[in-house]
Every structure is written in structure tokens, then in C-alpha cells.
Amino acid sequence: MTVSRRRYTIPLSSREALVLGDRCLVMGILNVTPDSFAETARTVDAAAAVDAALRMEAEGADIIDIGGESTRPGAAPVSADQEMARVLPVVRGLATRLRVPIAVDTSKESVARAAVEAGAVIVNDVSGLRFEPGLAKSVAESGAALVLMHSRGHSSSMYAEAQYADVIADVARELRMSMCRAVDAGVAAERIIIDPGIGFAKQPAHSYGVLARLPELAAALERPILVGPSRKSFLREAVGGQAATERDWGTAAAVTAAVLAGAHVVRVHAVAEMVQVMRVADEIRRHG
């Protein structure tokens, strides 16, 4: 069964608006960290990261999401200066070369501000403004779009927070609080995208529940939905205990479910493969 997908237009600060809903978009993950959980080849070197981003665009990515701090469970935090040293050379190197929008994956206000000045037009905050509420004001002033992800706790303690009376109702309520913080700081509601945070402060059953009930979340919040299931640990048991880098088949199933359930954007590592998956799932939707 497929569900309707509402159309949204997301204004971006320095380029034409991002249209969501006509088809699902693919956000390519570009981690410039030495400790990414889901990649064997590291792209800490700026030149290598720029080349990787250009390849993802050629493979069909609609957005490139650049992150300089791992958010995997148990990951050590890094300073804003260290994160900027990793991210900014890559953003600058891509700003005039990519045709697709650049997102910066950060919860730090100073990193977001510098990245937008360097050419990013979307800020992707995994904390949903819990860590640095001042980030919202900076985003508002820049005119960038804002992705608000649901999470609880920090990377070292998130699973202790994975207790829900009703996972969709609880996630919707907490994301609504994040949206209110953003709007109160001056972010236009039309610039907000929401992410239910698959795998963040969620046991596998919670993540599967979110995927299965995605239309309820979209209806409750009336904002476009970004889903990031790529290679995450909730897939591990279902795929026979495979390591993260071996979970692309499981990711493909999750991406298909997300597209059929009305997701506007899917965030993935294996861009070429998941572009094919997304396009077939979208064709099923179109004929459904």
C-alpha cells in the first residue's frame, strides 16, 4: 500500500528553492571523520572528500550532507574548531562545483554559521536544537533550511532514553517542541524539514515502528520527512548480524518502505545503489 506525499517548497538562502514531493530525493552522506561507523574508506582529506561528493552527485544524489563529528553511539565529542577544520575546506571546495545543495550535519551554532557562510544552504541538526538552542537564531539570520531530527540524550547515553509510551506520538510531540524552538527563534516554518531519527535513542522495534507508521508522523507535523536508515544497527539482526558496511541490502528494504510511506528525502551512504532503489519505489508509488 502506498500513501500520498504532500508537495513542499523549501526556500534556500543562496539558490533556487528545493521542491519536495514530486519524487523522493536522495541525500548522500559525506562523513569527514576518522571514526564513521558505516564506512571503511575514510574521507578526512579535503581533496578526497570533494572528489567523493562529486561522484555522489554524478551517481544521482540530490543533496550532499557533510559531517565532521560522528554521532554513532559512544562516539567521542569533538570541539567546534576541530569540526570546522574538517568541514569548511570541503564546503568551500564544493560550493562552486556542485549543482546540488550542500547540507552541513552539525549541532554546533558556530560550525553551522561558518558552513553556511562557506556555501552550505541546509543545516542538519541531529539534536533537534537540544544542544545549542542558539543555532536556530543563526539559521534564521542566514536563511538556510533546517532539518530537525528527533533524538534523546547524547551519543554515550541515547539507548538509556529509548523508552516510549507510543513511539510515534512521543516522537511527534518532541519534534513539535523542536519546531516551536526554531520558529520562536525566527526560522520560517516553511524552511523546516523533520527527521524521526531512525536508530537514535530507539531500540530496533522503535525504528521499525517509526518506518511502519511514517504517514502518521507526517500528518501530525505537516512538514516534509527525511529518513536516514542507512546501514544502521537496527538492521543488524534482520540481516544476520552483518557489519555496517555489509547492510546495503537491508538499507534498500528500509529505503523502499520509507518511499512507499511517503518520505520526501532518504539519507544514504551507497548513493548509486539507493538511487535505483528509490526510483523503482517511486514508480510503484506513482502507479499505486
Catalytic residues, by residue number, are 232, 267
- In one-letter notation, the amino acid at residue 38 is A
User: Burial letters for 105-120: b for 16+ Cβ neighbours within 10 Å, e otherwise?
Assistant: bbbbbbbbbbbbebbb
Reference 228, options 53, 17, 65; nearest CA is 65
How many other C-beta atoms can be found within 10 angstroms of the C-beta atom of residue 280? Answer: 13
* Longest CA span, the chain: 49
Dig out the grid coordinates for 222 from the structure.
505537516
**Residue 30 phi/psi, 5° resolution?**
-125, 95
Characterize 149-160 residue by residue with b for buried, 16 or more Cβ atoms within 10 angstroms of its Cβ, and e for exposed: bbbbbbbeebbe
Q: Which three cell numbers stand for residue 138?
A: 543563526
H-helix segments, 162-224: 167-184, 204-212, 214-221
Which cell is 107 given? 549541532
The rounded Cα 193 to chain-centroid distance in angstroms is 9
Question: Residue for cell digits 562529486?
Answer: 54
